[in-house]
Amino acid sequence: MSEKAQPTIEINREDFRRFCHDMRSALAVITSFLDLLSVRQSIGGDDKARHFIERCGIQAQALHDLLDGFDAEHNVGMEGSSDQ
């Protein structure tokens, strides 16, 4: 049985850095907004709202971890490349 070839995407280092920067900037705004919502909800919010804010925070952290993984893998893949 033959394995299917996995599709690959080629991206140069500068484009990748811009992509990561843009994603991290958007993520920073989202997490800051979630922090503000969390503070307001702790003062006088309901449990359901706090639950949704917590879930969004967990997903934001997962996206942050995913970006870290992409960055680490891209850096490993770029070692020895002349496009550094």
- Please tell me the pTM assigned to this model: 0.68
> What pLDDT is recorded for position 40?
85
Instruction: Give the pLDDT of residue 84.
Output: 44
Decide if 72 is inside a domain.
yes
Q: Which of 71, 38, 40 is nearest to 56 (CA)?
A: 38
**Treating both helix axes as pointing N-terminal to C-terminal, what angle do 13-44 and 47-78 enclose, rounded to 10 degrees?**
160
Instruction: Give residue 45's Cα distance to chain centre.
Output: 28
Which residue segment(s) compose the domain that 67 sits in?
A: 47-78
Written as tens digits, the pLDDT of the chain (84 aa) is: 556 777 777 778 888 888 889 999 999 999 999 999 988 888 777 888 889 999 999 999 999 999 999 888 777 665 555 444
- Examine residue 62 and state whether it is found in any structural domain, yes or no: yes
Structurally, the chain folds into a number of domains equal to 1
* Structural domain includes residue 67: yes
Q: Is residue 74 part of a domain?
A: yes
Q: Please, what is the Cα angle at 82 between 79 and 84, to 5 degrees?
A: 65
34 CB-near residues (< 8 Å, 6+ apart): 53, 56, 57, 60
